C-alpha cells in the first residue's frame, strides 16, 4: 500500500522591496547574514518535525515567499540537503520554487534545477510596464520574458506564471495583451487572480485615488480570461488556476483537497492530525526560537472539517464527491442542503452530475457568497 502523501511548505520571506498591494509576510532588503540565520532556524524546525513525516510520502515541497530565489545558493543547498536527509521525499515529488523576474540569473536557475527543483512559479502579474510600475513591482515586462527564457534554458519545463487583473490603469485591451504575451510563452500553468485591496497595505490606504477598473471592466476581463484560456488549451481546475493537461499544481491540490501538509518558517501554516496551526510573523523571534514559533492553533471539530471540505473542494472544478463526503462525515450532503442546491442549480450556479457536485463557471465567479451559504 502507498504511504499517505504529505506536502511541505517552506516560507522564505525575502523581497527586494515591498510592493504596495502586498500583504504576504515578506521583508525587504534582508542581509545575507540574516538569511543565513533564518536558514539555520528553518533547518532546526525541519529537524524537530521530521518524525511527523515517518511512514509518509512527501510528494510535494513548495518554497514560497517572498522571493525565495533571493536566498543565496549555498543556503538553498543547505536547506534542500537537510530536507532530503530528514524527510521521505518521493522520487517523483513536485518541488516548486517561487521566483520573481530578475531575482536570479541563468546559472542560479540551473543550479536549482540540478538540486531537484522541478517547478518554477514566476510572479509576473502584468506584461505592461505602466501597470507594473503602478503595482510598484521591481521588474519590467521585458525582464519577465527574459527570466522565463532563462528558466526554460536552465531546464525547467513546468513553469507557472502568476498574473493579476483589475489592477490600476488596466483596460480589457491591455489585459488581453498581457494574456496573449503570456500565452505565447506557453507556460504549463497560469494562476490569475484579481487584485484585492487588503487592509493594512499602502494600496488600501490610498484606494480612493487608485485608477481601478470599474465592475463592468473587471467582469469583461474575467470573461476574456476564460475564453483565452479555453482557446489556448488550458483547463480551469480551480477558481483562479489553469493548466495544461497533467500540470495542475500538486502542492496546492493538497490544500484544496483538505490533505495534510506541514509548514515551516515565519507565518507558515500546517494542517496535521486534525489540527491547523500557524507560526508567528516576527522574523527575529523565529530566528531566536524556531521551535516555539507557533502562534495559533485550532483543533478542528467534525463540523469544522465537514465545512472546510466543502469550502475547499468547491473551489475545484472537480467539486465534491457526495459518496466520499458521506463516508467521511456520515452526512448526506445533497439531502441536508437540498433547497439551497436546487436554488443554486436553477440559477445556473451549481451542477450535480451523478456523485459529483460542482460550481459552474458562473458559480465560480460568485464563489465567496455561495460557499458562505453552505455554512452550518
Q: Which residues bind ligand SF4 (CB under 6 A)?
A: 15, 18-19, 22, 24, 26, 65-67, 100, 123
Q: Residue 89 pairs with which residues in a beta bridge?
A: 58
Backbone angles phi, psi at 189, to 5 degrees: -150, 145
Closest approach, Cβ 65 to ligand SF4, in A, equals 5
Q: Which is nearer to ligand SF4, 49 or 170 (CB)?
A: 170
Closest approach, Cβ 112 to ligand SF4, in A, equals 18
Closest approach, Cβ 199 to ligand SF4, in A, equals 15
Q: Which is nearer to ligand SF4, 137 or 315 (CB)?
A: 137
Do residues 334 and 344 lie in contact, with contact meaning Cβ atoms separated by under 8 Å? Answer: no
Residue 91 CB burial class (10 angstroms; 0-12, 13-18, ≥19):
exposed
How many other C-beta atoms are found inside a 10 Å radius of the C-beta of residue 187?
25
Q: Which is nearer to ligand SF4, 193 or 272 (CB)?
A: 193
Secondary structure (3-state) at 77: helix
Give the sign of the dihedral formed by CA 141, CA 142, CA 145, CA 150.
negative
Rg (alpha carbons) of the chain, rounded to whole number: 21
Closest approach, Cβ 63 to ligand SF4, in A, equals 13
Q: Which is nearer to ligand SF4, 18 or 276 (CB)?
A: 18
Closest approach, Cβ 375 to ligand SF4, in A, equals 30
Do residues 16 and 30 lie in contact, with contact meaning Cβ atoms separated by under 8 Å? Answer: no
Q: Which is nearer to ligand SF4, 49 or 103 (CB)?
A: 103
Do residues 122 and 146 lie in contact, with contact meaning Cβ atoms separated by under 8 Å? Answer: no
Closest approach, Cβ 124 to ligand SF4, in A, equals 11
In terms of C-beta distances under 8 Å and separation of at least 24 residues, what long-range contacts does 365-371 make, across chains too? Answer: 365/222, 367/239, 367/314, 367/315, 370/314, 370/344, 371/310, 371/311, 371/314, 371/315
Closest approach, Cβ 123 to ligand SF4, in A, equals 5
Helix ranges, 50-195 (H)? 73-86, 106-114, 129-134, 141-153, 172-185
Q: Which is nearer to ligand SF4, 67 or 96 (CB)?
A: 67
Do residues 73 and 111 lie in contact, with contact meaning Cβ atoms separated by under 8 Å? Answer: yes
Q: Which is nearer to ligand SF4, 49 or 121 (CB)?
A: 121
Residues whose CB falls within 8 Å of the CB of residue 336, separated by 6 or more in sequence, listed in order: none
Q: Which is nearer to ligand SF4, 22 or 224 (CB)?
A: 22
Closest-by-Cβ residue to ligand SF4 is 22
Closest approach, Cβ 66 to ligand SF4, in A, equals 5
Amino acid at each position: 500500500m502507498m504511504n499517505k502523501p504529505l506536502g511541505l511548505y517552506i516560507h522564505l520571506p525575502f523581497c527586494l522591496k515591498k510592493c504596495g498591494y502586498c500583504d504576504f509576510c515578506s521583508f525587504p532588503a534582508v542581509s545575507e547574514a540574516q538569511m543565513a540565520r533564518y536558514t539555520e532556524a528553518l533547518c532546526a524546525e525541519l529537524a524537530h518535525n521530521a518524525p511527523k513525516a515517518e511512514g509518509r510520502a512527501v510528494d510535494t515541497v513548495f518554497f514560497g515567499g517572498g522571493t525565495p530565489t533571493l536566498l543565496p545558493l549555498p543556503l538553498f543547498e543547505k536547506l534542500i540537503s537537510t530536507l532530503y536527509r530528514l524527510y521521505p521525499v518521493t522520487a517523483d515529488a513536485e518541488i516548486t520554487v517561487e521566483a520573481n523576474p530578475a531575482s536570479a540569473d541563468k546559472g542560479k536557475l540551473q543550479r536549482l534545477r540540478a538540486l531537484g527543483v522541478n517547478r518554477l512559479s514566476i510572479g509576473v502579474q502584468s506584461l505592461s510596464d505602466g501597470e507594473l510600475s503602478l503595482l510598484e513591482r521591481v521588474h519590467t515586462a521585458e525582464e519577465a520574458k527574459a527570466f522565463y527564457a532563462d528558466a526554460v534554458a536552465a531546464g525547467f519545463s513546468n513553469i507557472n506564471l502568476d498574473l493579476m487583473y483589475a489592477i490600476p490603469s488596466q483596460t480589457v485591451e491591455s489585459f488581453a495583451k498581457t494574456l496573449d504575451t503570456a500565452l505565447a510563452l506557453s507556460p504549463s500553468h497560469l494562476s490569475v487572480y484579481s487584485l484585492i485591496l487588503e487592509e493594512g497595505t499602502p494600496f488600501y490606504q490610498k484606494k480612493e485615488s487608485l485608477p481601478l477598473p470599474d465592475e463592468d471592466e473587471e467582469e469583461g476581463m474575467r470573461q476574456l480570461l476564460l475564453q483565452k484560456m479555453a482557446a489556448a488549451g488550458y483547463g480551469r481546475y480551480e477558481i483562479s488556476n489553469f493548466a495544461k493537461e497533467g500540470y495542475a499544481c500538486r502542492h496546492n491540490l493538497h490544500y484544496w483537497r483538505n490533505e495534510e501538509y506541514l509548514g515551516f518558517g515565519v507565518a507558515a501554516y500546517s494542517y496535521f492530525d486534525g489540527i491547523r496551526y500557524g507560526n508567528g510573523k516576527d522574523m527575529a523571534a523565529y530566528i531566536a526560537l524556531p521551535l516555539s514559533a507557533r502562534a495559533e492553533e485550532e483543533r478542528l471539530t467534525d463540523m469544522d472539517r465537514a465545512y472546510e471540505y466543502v469550502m475547499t473542494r468547491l473551489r475545484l472544478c472537480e467539486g465534491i464527491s457526495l459518496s466520499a463526503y458521506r463516508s467521511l462525515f456520515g452526512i448526506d450532503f445533497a439531502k441536508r442542503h437540498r433547497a439551497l442546491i436546487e436554488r443554486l442549480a436553477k440559477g445556473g450556479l451549481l451542477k450535480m452530475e451523478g456523485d459529483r457536485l460542482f460550481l459552474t463557471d458562473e458559480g465560480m465567479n460568485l464563489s465567496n457568497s455561495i460557499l458562505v451559504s453552505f455554512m452550518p
